[in-house]
Structure 1
Amino acid sequence: LPGWARPLAEGDTGALAALADALRDYHAAAVAPFQESIDAAFAADRDSRARDVLGGGVEALLAGLGPPIRWTPPVLEVDYVVDQDLALGGRGLRLVPSYFCQRTPLSMADPGLPPVLIYPIQQRHRWRPAVRRAGAAGLSALMGASRSAALRALDHGATTTQLARMLGVSPATASRHATVLREAGLIETRRDGTAVLHTRTPLGTALLEGEIAASPPPRPGQS
């Protein structure tokens, strides 16, 4: 070990306390200001994985973890920093989404620990515009009551037919609402078998929760 690391390896309480303080300070400066964006990215990834499980079971979940992860039954192949095999032997595999993990998934170094695969969340779920609060009434005024209701109806995703049923409109009308919301970046649309599934993006969720990007109104006399 290099000299600076030896006190940590030996469990020196002063060195460990200094490391803990440094990590707290770093988190406060570099991570905490973006916590809302990170939470929204986690929520989007979780919703996407849940839809995969509901739509196609564990097979669909594992197949959707790529591109650095490939499901070739019964083996889950992962682009990893070392060449190794991990036999589950009947044990479960805990999947942990990571905002900061980039490109290459990670696993626990100790083979005696429960099997864990830390995988990077999809890039499309990451950085989003900064937002601030606004009222629900303002959302309806901005988007119109029908499209605001359509965005609210997509809590867990819905097909065009399901959305039409929830809104009490025709499928054609629901499809038009979905098109406008998708073009605004508030929802995503993908084909799921013969149906088309609409889900909210993190930006759409933030807007729905009353957090729209806006600047303070100018003072009188300012442009």
Structure 2
Amino acid sequence: MIRVHLTAADLARVRFAPRPAPLQELNTALLTLCQPGDALRYGPWRQRLLHRLPDAVRPLRDLVPAARAPSFLDVFADDLHEGLAAPRATPAAVVRAELTRVYATHPAPPPPWVRDLHRGDADAWRVLRQAQHAAFETVLRPAWSLVQDLHRAEFTRYAVTAAEAGVGAALCAAVPDSAFRADVWELAAHRDADVRPAGRGLTLLPTFHWSGAPLVADLPGQPVYVTYPAGPGVPPSPAAAGDRAGALSAVLGRARYEALLVLAEAHTTGQLARRLGLSDATASEHAAALRAAGLITTVRAGRAVRHRRTALGDLLVRPRDRPAPPDRATADRPPADA
């Protein structure tokens, strides 16, 4: 079990990564690719990728000769180019210590390029960058838009739960096999450890290529990152990447999702109800839930109230998603201002 000890300062800094981290998602995908088991769920995906992986990816296997990878591969940047540059910025002493650790119990010596990396050779760093880039393009790029949609849906699920039930409940809802006791978040894991952010905070990052225990990264000077399995439980398929709205709609419910689309412009409760074909009471209930999650704002305008999507709501709704056209017979023209 991993016990994450959270101070008041840490609880104030609990956050949910707003976007997926390309290289951390890649790490979990490669971990799943290399581990045996669950052939029914992962077999076809593994077979397809193993036949497509280019030779340029092979150096990544050299860096993980045993179960745990060197810490400088834990990169949580949400921009691919920034992430690819991040390992090179790792202090040389940390790189040497991590490479020594991962090869300490391995019977075979490290290959020449890893020894060059241990010395800080620039060409060796280029080998690593090229391997990560080739792996991302092969393993994740075809389904990356779906990963982004799934992440957005998981972000929303967390936001709604935190707004309705608090941070502790949201943490346990994100990772079902966990428990929050006093100021300690307990995570089921294959190792026993106590992690103390000590004011650095905690960042949650869902992954959609991993179904094992949560992965906890405690890196100096950074928040503690908890990467946890989410989504449908199977690797995202490129064939499903066209369903942009499905993931978010499944989390919010169809009516609330449609309300979020409509509220790109301000609507009163009555206008929203007519736009969605609902009763005023039901529309008010949906608006209250979206407001509690920070996805819309509500302001009074005379005897009525007007609802409109917030910046957080805009973040969750992709620009090319559009609300259904209104029923001209019953819909009022929405006001132009908030």
C-alpha displacement at 1:54, in angstroms? 1.1
Percent identity over paired residues:
24
Structure 2 counterpart SS, 1:42? helix
C-alpha displacement at 1:61, in angstroms? 1.1
* Residue aligning to 1:16: 125
Provide the C-alpha distance between the structure 2 equivalents of 1:152 and 1:13, rounded to a whole number of angstroms. 51
Structure 2 counterpart SS, 1:209? coil
Provide the C-alpha distance between the structure 2 equivalents of 1:45 and 1:149, rounded to a whole number of angstroms. 18
Deviations 1:87-136 (A, max 9, x none): 34344222222233432111225466432222222436963624289xxx
Superposition pairs of residues 98-113 of structure 1, within 5 angstroms: 98-110=207-219, 113=222
Provide the C-alpha distance between the structure 1 equivalents of 2:258 and 2:125, rounded to a whole number of angstroms. 47
2:258 to 143, 152, 160: 152
Runs of at least 5 residues in structure 2 that lack an aligned partner in the other structure: 1-102, 104-108, 245-253, 263-267, 284-316, 323-338
Q: Is the 8 A contact 2:146 2:236 kept in 1?
A: yes
User: 1:114–1:25: structure 2 CA closer, same or farther, 3 Å change rule?
Assistant: same
* Residue aligning to 1:195: none
User: 1:54–1:8: structure 2 CA closer, same or farther, 3 Å change rule?
Assistant: same
* Residue aligning to 2:146: 37
C-alpha displacement at 1:3, in angstroms? 2.2
User: 1:114–1:59: structure 2 CA closer, same or farther, 3 Å change rule?
Assistant: closer
Provide the C-alpha distance between the structure 2 equivalents of 1:52 and 1:75, rounded to a whole number of angstroms. 19
The structure showing larger relative contact order (alpha-carbon pairs under 8 Å, at least 6 residues apart) is 2
What amino acid maps onto 1:3 in structure 2?
P
Aligned residues: CA RMSD: 3.9
Q: Is the 8 A contact 2:180 2:186 kept in 1?
A: yes
- Confirm or deny that 1:69 pairs with 2:178: yes
Runs of at least 5 residues in structure 1 that lack an aligned partner in the other structure: 134-147, 157-161, 176-204, 211-223
Give the TM-score normalised by structure 1: 0.58
What amino acid maps onto 1:167 in structure 2?
A
Q: Is the 8 A contact 1:150 1:163 kept in 2?
A: no
- Confirm or deny that 1:166 pairs with 2:272: yes
